[in-house]
Amino acid sequence: MVSATLLFISSTLFGLAYSATLQSRATTFTGDGTVFQPGLGACGKINTANQLIVAVGHGTFDTFPGAGPNPNKNPICGKKIKAIGGGKSVTVTVVDRCTGCAGAADLDFSESAFAKLAAPAVGRIHGVKWEFV
């Protein structure tokens, strides 16, 4: 009973710490950046490739503080992210959930957003650093 209680307390504290990290603007995340073709996103809006938008890794989207069963109401929707890759930066708006992203810190950029960091033909940038702004 004691070990089950300690496990519950530990996992609860870890969850609270992770939630606080996700909300912190001072925290920098690192992941891969890829390109996607937007349409109707998980946030419930239709977007286009010429908008400066991003889909965040499903691990981040699903565990963002306040996320519930309706992805359209996820508080991460509409958040701004500043991403840096290859010595260049772009500020994008979260509009979608990246189901194909392997890591929680991976980002899937619209073509115009990705083009601010690298040629879209590159397809993937490793080590993209980003934070909420």
Calpha distance 102→18 (Å, rounded): 18
7-26 pLDDT per residue, tens:
333 333 334 444 445 555 57
Q: Domain total for the chain?
A: 1
Q: Where does residue 11 rank: exposed (0-12), middle (13-18), buried (19+ CB within 10 A)?
A: exposed
Q: What is the pLDDT of residue 23?
A: 52
pTM: 0.81
pLDDT at 78 over 60: yes
| Among the listed residues 126, 62, 127, 56, the one whose alpha carbon sits nearest the alpha carbon of residue 93 | 56
Q: Which domain holds residue 93?
A: 2-132
Q: What is the pLDDT of residue 22?
A: 55
Q: What is the CATH classification number for the domain harbouring 94?
A: 2.40.40.10
What is the pLDDT averaged over residues 64-73? 96
